[in-house]
Amino acid sequence: MAEEVILLNFWPSIFGMRTMIALEEKGVKYEYISEEDVIKNKSSLLLQMNPVHKKIPVLIHNGKAICESMIQVQYIDEVWSEKSPLLPSDPYQRAQALFWADFIDKKLCVCGRGTWRAKGEELEANNKEFIDILKILESELGDKPYFGGHKFGFVDIVLIGFYSWFPEYQKFGNFSIELECSKLIAWAERCLEREKSVAKSLPDPEKVIGYVLYLKKLYGIE
């Protein structure tokens, strides 16, 4: 029996981008179902498959749902293990990759939202923290081509989706990531050379800006 793989996602989602990239890296064929109104009108399928958080992305494999993007990437890595691994096999290196992925989710996501939601002194403090977080990540990257070394892997997948939001962060936060973190920009451009996985999974940054303008209007943020 052929495997059935479905991804419930919404195109601006950094989290969904991770799952798409992991599936593409592994060469997994899947059906993409777009949740176009995840704010106001979630589909019955989404509510059925993710009744706890009621959020995308949701990976459905042979009728069984896997929720949360980092868990999905790990699941994809384990299930389709015959393809090149995304996580290191060495326990210490694996732990380090999971640590940095957790750091990205706990720190960068919050500050990213702050660039368009915060105002005044709060925005200024948010932006400083945001750049500091990027500099910490840039320091961890060092002179390596990718976070895991010479091979594109787990941490790269977790982080690269933010790149499509960089123009939005800069526009509404009024700062330059390229001036502050040029090595990180070079890393992102290297990742985008992976046309069949990264490049095809990331949306047009201008479209992201348009989406954020919609959110600002929706939430009454000027």
| Mean pLDDT over each residue of the chain, to the nearest integer | 96
By the 8 A CB rule, do 141 and 187 touch?
Answer: yes
Q: How far apart are CA 118 and CA 126, in angstroms?
A: 8
Whether residues 95 and 57 fall in one domain: no
Kindly report the pTM of this predicted structure: 0.96
Whether residues 103 and 212 fall in one domain: yes
**CATH code at 166?**
1.20.1050.10
Q: What's the pLDDT tens digit per position in 40-52?
A: 889 999 999 999 9
The H-assigned helical ranges of the chain are: 14-26, 44-49, 69-79, 91-103, 109-117, 120-141, 154-160, 166-173, 177-180, 182-191, 200-201, 205-218
Whether residues 95 and 195 fall in one domain: yes
Handedness of CA 142, 164, 80, 100 (dihedral sign): positive
Q: What's the pLDDT tens digit per position in 50-106?
A: 999 999 999 999 999 999 999 999 999 999 999 999 999 999 999 999 999 999 999
Domain end residue (candidates: 79, 110, 133)? 79
Per-residue tokens: 43: 């589909």
> What's the pLDDT score for residue 36?
82
Whether residues 134 and 54 fall in one domain: no
**CATH code at 43?**
3.40.30.10
> What's the pLDDT score for residue 1?
45
Domain end residue (candidates: 24, 57, 79)? 79
> What's the pLDDT score for residue 2?
65
Count of domains forming the chain: 2
Residue 190 domain-assigned (yes or no): yes
